[in-house]
Amino acid sequence: MPKLGNPTSTIEILEKYHFVFQKKYGQNFLIDSNILNNIIETADITKEDFVIEIGPGIGSMTQYLAEAAREVYAVEIDKLLIPILQDTLSEYTNVTIINEDILKVDLKKLAEEKNNGRPVKIVANLPYYITTPIIMGIFESKVPVESITIMVQKEVAERMQVGPGTKDYGALSLAVQFYAKPVIAMFVPPTCFMPQPKVGSAVIKLIRYDQKPVDVKNDGFMFSLIRASFNQRRKTLVNGLQNASGLQLEKKAIADALEKMKLSPTVRGETLTLQQFAELANILYQE
């Protein structure tokens, strides 16, 4: 089997199986070997590593992962790609292909069974619509993960990395930065994919913290505050939290908490740092 990750081999395998791209899965296959090598390098894959790949497609990146890692589990949702993967990865004895929705896979159990509970590395080329649910699902379900190296839409990568006061700052920024250090490794133009997406992409590495950067009594409550404050980002934080269904917070309690933090009662959520959201959550949770 010829090495994929180039236009010629990709076209050959797609024609061989008469494959038709499915828009619902956001399928865009990498056709640039330099980018693939850079992703392996960014993810810091070694022969000690058990790697979970999300969305292997036709196996372009899987081939590179298999050569670099101890073992690879490739989770693909599209059943039409399974025969192609079995073909393109037939030479690799350290790859297991799973036809499943990654949101339904027990990654914690997989890490325990295949890696003795030690942290795994996750690598993925993710479509925009599913990026946030997958990342947050991994973090919130406490999968033992060392790092997540993913190809995502450029603006999504930037959103994960930005700080308060910027238009892209939001609940995703805070959630990612609570669990991991986000580092954009490279930007990837549409020409590196088949078919070409309409927007640019970026490879971002999320390096999981051993110890959280903030001390919060109840992180679920903190994220409820964060979501409420950004759901109505034009409103003041006091009004946004007071109007949020489910929180049941009184206006005076919110204003008193902000005063205790030496913040203005007219402050907006988009100006608060992760540390300030943690402090606010601790005060309100206690009360």
Condensed to tens digits (0 to 9), the pLDDT of residues 3-49 reads 899 999 999 999 999 999 887 888 999 999 999 999 999 999 999 99
How far apart are the C-alpha atoms of 161 and 110, rounded to whole Å?
29
- The answer to whether 236 touches 201, Cβ cutoff 8 Å, is no
How far apart are the C-alpha atoms of 187 and 227, rounded to whole Å?
28
Cβ atoms < 10 Å from Cβ of 206: 23
Residue 235: predicted pLDDT: 87
Residue 143: predicted pLDDT: 92
Residue 138 backbone dihedrals phi, psi, to 5 degrees: -65, -50
Q: Which ranges constitute the DSSP H helices of the chain?
A: 7-16, 33-43, 60-68, 82-88, 107-115, 131-140, 154-161, 171-179, 219-231, 237-243, 251-260, 274-286
Residue 64: predicted pLDDT: 97
How far apart are the C-alpha atoms of 76 and 56, rounded to whole Å?
6
- The answer to whether 209 touches 180, Cβ cutoff 8 Å, is yes
What is the DSSP annotation of 227-276? HHHHHTTTS-HHHHHHH-TTT---HHHHHHHHHHTT--TT--GGG--HHH
* Fold topology of 219-286: Helicase, Ruva Protein; domain 3 (1.10.8)
Token pair belonging to 246: 């489910």
How far apart are the C-alpha atoms of 39 and 62, rounded to whole Å?
11
Q: Where are the domains of the chain?
A: 7-208, 219-286
Collect the ranges in the chain with pLDDT lower than 50.
none
Token pair belonging to 53: 């790949």
Residue 190: predicted pLDDT: 96
How far apart are the C-alpha atoms of 97 and 73, rounded to whole Å?
6
For helices 251-260 and 274-286, the axis angle rounded to 10 degrees is: 130
Top CATH class, 7-208: alpha beta
Cβ atoms < 10 Å from Cβ of 180: 22
3-state helix, strand, coil in the chain (%, to 5): 45, 20, 35
